[in-house]
Amino acid sequence: MSEPDAPRPPDDPDRPPPAALPAESERAVRLRAGDAERHQTAALLQDALGKGQLSLDEFEERTTSVWSTVYRDELEPLTADLVAPPASTPRPATSHAVATPGAPAAADRITGGEGPTFSMAIWSGFTRKGAWTVPAKFTGFAWMGGGELDLRYANFSQREVTITVVAIMGGIEIVVPDDAHVKVSGIGFMGAFEDSRKWDDGPQPTPPPDAPVITINGLALMAGIAVSRKPTR
């Protein structure tokens, strides 16, 4: 024979009712990241690269992660160990067909300021890449040496810049971003001055009207000068 149920205590009229479970719409929701948040994070990484907080490899790895994120909380660890600049209203993403995924758009990198105006290599080499500032006029010279100018992550002192390169029995490579206007004119004498940009991954992009205008000219004397396009990773 089973025991009778224990008597229930009388209800206390002064006891508050148990808290109701939150409705489904009130529970924590992971917010998706938008282009504005991604651009802001990429700008922080660009600033950290310029300050020397990140190496170029670290910068490329983190910016690749920026553009593959889905949720906002995935962006926070990418800059958690960096000193952020003063808070500002993020600039809306520039709308055009060739926004680069690894760096702010070229139109957003017309920052003013000054940069090196001359690089020279004699029996040696020179390199300009990462977060450097392209001045209004830049000259590169290589004699029995080599040079590399990478503009994919560079800032521009003004919208129109001119790069003049001269190579004698040497070589110079210039890497340009997709989302900038580029004009190439040079002379090859017993050598080659080549516009080697290729568009194998689709039609040639059309930069936005406010993008930088990069004019490249010079002379290759028994040497090689090549203007190439590489994707920003």
Do residues 83 and 147 share a domain? no
Residue 68: give the domain boundaries.
30-88
pTM passes above 0.75: no
In angstroms, rounded to a whole number, what is the distance separating the alpha carbons of residues 158 and 155?
A: 9
pLDDT on residue 204: 67
- Establish if 195 belongs to a structural domain: yes
Residues across the chain: 233
Do 79 and 120 sit in the same domain of this protein? no
**Token pair of 188 as six digits:** 């090859």
User: How many CB atoms are closer than 10 A to CB 230?
Assistant: 14
User: Is 104 within a domain?
Assistant: no
Given 56, 88, 120, the domain boundary residue is 88
Tell me what pLDDT residue 207 has. 84
Residues 206, 121, single domain; the answer is yes
CB-count burial class (<10 Å; 0-12, 13-18, 19+) for 174: buried
Query: What gap in Å lies between CA 16 and CA 151, rounded to an integer?
Result: 67
Three-class SS state of 214: strand
Tell me the average confidence (pLDDT) per consecutive run of 10 residues in the chain, 233 residues long: 58 61 60 78 73 73 80 86 53 39 76 89 90 93 92 92 94 91 91 78 74 94 89 59
Is 209 part of a structural domain of the chain? yes
Question: Are 123 and 50 in the same domain?
Answer: no
Is there a domain that residue 205 lies in?
A: yes
Domain total in the chain: 2
* Contacts of residue 31, Cβ cutoff 8 Å, sequence gap at least 6: 71, 72, 73
- Say whether both 119 and 215 belong to one domain: yes
Same domain for 122 and 84: no
Cα first-last separation, the chain: 78
35-71: per-residue pLDDT in tens? 777 777 877 776 776 667 777 678 778 877 877 788 8
Both 79 and 152 in one domain: the answer is: no
Whether 82 and 123 map to the same domain: the answer is no
